[in-house]
Chains A and B, each alone.
Chain A
Amino acid sequence: MTKRSLVIALAGNPNCGKTTIFNSLTGARQHVGNYPGVTVEKKEGFVRYKDYEIKVIDLPGTYSLTAYSPDEVVARDVILEEKPDLMVNIVDTSNLERNLYLTVQLKELEVPIVLALNMADVAEAGGIEINYDLFSKLLGLKVVRTVGTKNEGIEDLLEAIIWVAEHKNQVSSRTVRFTEDLENVINEIVENFKNDVAFANWNYPLRWTAIKLLENDKEVVKKIKSLPAGERILELVSRKQEEIQSLLNDDAEMAIIEGRYAFIRGTVKEAVTEKGINKFSFTEAVDKILLNRILGLPIFFGVMWLLFQLTFTLGAPPMEWIESGFTILGEWVGSHMQDGLLKSLVVDGIIAGVGGVIVFLPNILLLFLGIAFLEGTGYMARAAFVMDKIMHRVGLHGKSFVPMLTGFGCNIPAIMATRTLENPKDRLVTILITPLMSCGARLPVYTLLIAAFFPKEVAGNVLFSIYLIGVLLAMLMAKVFRTFIFKGESEPFAMELPLYRIPTLKSVLIHMWERAWLYLKKAGTIILAVSIIMWGLFTFPMVDAQGNEFESAAEQMEQSYAGRIGKAIEPVIAPLGFDWKTGVALVAGFAAKEVVVSTLGTLYSIEDEEALTEEEDTTVKSFAQRAKEQSGYTPFTAYVLMLFTLIYVPCMATIAVIKRETNGWKWPLFTAGYTTVLAWVICFVVYQMGTVFGAV
């Protein structure tokens, strides 16, 4: 028997439990992607119920449907352009008034809606009683009681979906009425549309169009402008806006919003009774401690410390297993293959490349376990509340703290963690500056150079200064980007502090898995491709002009394309005190920053590179010796190299993740460019000043 197909879209506020309902409906049958042209994530899933194969679109969680936020524009574009058969609007029953504000706007779009009163258990425990029949009648909607976390009401919801789909023409499409003055104005504009041929093919509800024009919605205004009668209509609208202003002493936008809320207040008053139990008692008691003026900050730092430890300390052993696993695999495969180019490609190119992708998985999984927990419980909003003042001062958001902190461990999960920022500008600025947070892979470069060139007594201070410079630069650049690239009106902060609750294990696991999968699929392929290119740069040509093999690894590297690049850029980096060998090392550092030193080791013909990273005294001494003899290194040059390694282009995996998170090549390329220029400028100034003051 052929299934009948239905397309439904889930809409709801953030924190209304929409994701839990989506997961309950679709289980593992989900697909995550991106809406074209924006960074908004597109989530779809499928559910089979009775005769129906239902496609479920999970819209971004929004409070409203304005043209101000990309999330909201995407949500209403899906509704208007993709025309789902019906909407499921999920509301937090314990917070009805504000949640119903979106419902009213969905009704304005004149699509059939099923309303899911979710988290009904929390509301009932808080003494909220709902007369479902009356509520449904007043709203003109099919209403279902659900508790997503306990899987209650999911079957009822599916029944309601099918009922509405089968009785579309019986479903009331009556939208909310405003005050008489406002209604007259709206009707007059609508009549104007009806008499205009240009509107014969207008794809959107006329009443909604009129309301949006009165609200000065820039997307709708733009669409109207392109019509032949556009100017005339906009003129009419602006006249009507003035009329409202003088009549109500309110601008039209505010009058419409007030009208929506007035309708909601009336509905809730009639159909909902509150017994006066304080539903906030638990949350308020917890917040008295967590947001306490004295304890708030120490608790916040404690939680952040735990998150960091969870991600990187707990993540370290599995990363080592993965690394040694791939080494063993490489050796095993190598021992079964004949020496030659193919073996080198498979072992050093492909296997090492795949290993280089997989190795970040433990960090990503653990960090998102932590983030899913912090978001699910409601603490993430509190963390932003506590930290916002400091972060806002440099043009960031309270929630930017988590990615920046995580950046000290590894920039890759850190940039993925910017997803917690709802605001596109806040998110983008955070992404751009996170690479300046000195990650764990840069640490071995510092420690080796410090051990080789600095006395033990100052080692700690030298290292600390590098980290500090990274943080200061990040803040400076955030301010610069805010002032020059993302200028204009600042973004609204207004953020809900939701009730505390315990997230379900299922939703935490799905969230982790989704992030890991996106990383593997979207970033992993780029990382693998670039690792193979990097392998090629260091492998070819394999013989000299006469066809003879090179005598040593150092000579091979010198003659390779990477070696030639190093020599080509020597004039550019010479003013920083670097020679071509350092240039080659910096090229290699694009693959992963820790290879900067091992590449130098190879060029200095240090046989035992392992001993270099393990900082064995004799090897480090011979490294220092050769760096001094062959590249003219002084402690000062070493310091400038550390600075350069800190600031210049982040590793290719970070670039790949920026590409995935910003949905395009513009921002990853910008990041690569600005960091490299910044590194050069800072190192130039430092090195030249050092030369003047005789530090070299």
Chain B
Amino acid sequence: MSRTLKDLLPGEKAKVIKVLGNGAIRRRMMDMGIVPGVELEMERYAPLGDPVEIKIKGYHLSLRKEEAESVVLE
């Protein structure tokens, strides 16, 4: 199975290949800059393990793990 954003550990960087799913959630993630080719970095997990915080396009974004799971990485 391909690696997704959910598998990224804090401090690790990776490139986005694809955003899976459809509808509002996928659209929102793409609108926020998660598009193929973009590089992102896992910043941290929340104290309870979910959601996660990533750094992308020069800003900080938090995503639930169920959302992060649909971001396929290189």
Chain A's nearest CB lies how many Å from the CB of B38?
A: 8
Q: Are A496 and B61 in contact (CB under 8 A)?
A: yes
Which of B19, B47, B57 is A386 in contact with, Cβ under 8 Å?
Answer: B47
Q: Are B57 and A97 in contact (CB under 8 A)?
A: yes
Q: Are B23 and A258 in contact (CB under 8 A)?
A: no
| CB proximity to A under 8 Å, residues B26-52 | 27-33, 35-38, 44-51
Q: Is B58 an interface residue (CB 8 A)?
A: yes
Which of B19, B58, B63 is A493 in contact with, Cβ under 8 Å?
Answer: B63
Q: Which residues in A have their C-beta under 8 angstroms from that of B69?
A: none
Chain B's nearest CB lies how many Å from the CB of A304?
A: 14
Closest to A95 in B: B59
Q: Is B25 an interface residue (CB 8 A)?
A: yes
Closest to A300 in B: B47
**A interface residues, how many (CB within 8 angstroms):** 44
Closest to B45 in A: A293
Which of A68, A98, A253 is B57 in contact with, Cβ under 8 Å?
Answer: A98
| CB proximity to B under 8 Å, residues A283-313 | 283, 287, 291-294, 296-297
**B interface residues, how many (CB within 8 angstroms):** 34
Q: Are A386 and B35 in contact (CB under 8 A)?
A: no
Q: Which residues in A have their C-beta under 8 angstroms from that of B60?
A: 280, 283, 496-498
Q: Is A181 an interface residue (CB 8 A)?
A: no
Q: Which residues in B have their C-beta under 8 angstroms from that of A390?
A: 48
Closest to B23 in A: A489
Q: Is B64 an interface residue (CB 8 A)?
A: yes
Complex Cα distance, B24 from A381, in Å, reads 20
Chain B's nearest CB lies how many Å from the CB of A450?
A: 35
Q: Is B4 an interface residue (CB 8 A)?
A: no
Q: Which residues in A have their C-beta under 8 angstroms from that of B28?
A: 63-64, 68, 492, 494
Q: Are A494 and B48 in contact (CB under 8 A)?
A: no
Q: Are B35 and A257 in contact (CB under 8 A)?
A: yes
Closest to B64 in A: A493
Q: Are A392 and B64 in contact (CB under 8 A)?
A: yes
Q: Are B27 and A66 in contact (CB under 8 A)?
A: yes
Closest to B51 in A: A388
Q: Is A495 an interface residue (CB 8 A)?
A: yes
Q: Which residues in B have their C-beta under 8 angstroms from that of A287?
A: 44
Q: Are B25 and A381 in contact (CB under 8 A)?
A: no
Q: Is A174 an interface residue (CB 8 A)?
A: no
Q: Is A521 an interface residue (CB 8 A)?
A: no
Complex Cα distance, B32 from A489, in Å, reads 19
Complex Cα distance, B52 from A403, in Å, reads 23
Q: Which residues in A have their C-beta under 8 angstroms from that of B29?
A: 492, 494
Q: Are B36 and A101 in contact (CB under 8 A)?
A: no
Q: Is A629 an interface residue (CB 8 A)?
A: no
Q: Are B47 and A494 in contact (CB under 8 A)?
A: no
Chain B's nearest CB lies how many Å from the CB of A294?
A: 7
* Binary CB contact string for chain A from 91 to 124 against chain B (1 if under 8 A, 0 otherwise): 0001111100100000000000000000000000
Which of A254, A297, A493 is B35 in contact with, Cβ under 8 Å?
Answer: A254
Q: Are A291 and B30 in contact (CB under 8 A)?
A: no
* Binary CB contact string for chain A from 449 to 489 against chain B (1 if under 8 A, 0 otherwise): 00000000000000000000000000000000000000001
Which of B19, B31, B50 is A63 in contact with, Cβ under 8 Å?
Answer: B31
Q: Which residues in A have their C-beta under 8 angstroms from that of B49?
A: 389
Q: Which residues in A have their C-beta under 8 angstroms from that of B38?
A: 261
Complex Cα distance, B51 from A321, in Å, reads 45
Q: Are B24 and A489 in contact (CB under 8 A)?
A: yes
Q: Are B67 and A98 in contact (CB under 8 A)?
A: no
Chain B's nearest CB lies how many Å from the CB of A181?
A: 16
The chain B residues found within 8 Å of chain A, CB to CB, are 19, 23-25, 27-33, 35-38, 44-51, 53, 55, 57-64, 67
The chain A residues found within 8 Å of chain B, CB to CB, are 63-64, 66, 68-69, 94-98, 101, 250, 253-254, 257-258, 261, 279-280, 283, 287, 291-294, 296-297, 381, 385-386, 388-390, 392, 489-498
Between A and B, 25 residue pairs with Cβ closer than 8 Å are A64-B27, A66-B24, A68-B23, A68-B24, A69-B24, A95-B57, A95-B58, A101-B33, A254-B19, A280-B60, A283-B60, A292-B47, A297-B47, A385-B62, A386-B47, A389-B49, A389-B50, A390-B48, A491-B25, A492-B28, A492-B67, A493-B62, A494-B32, A495-B62, A497-B53
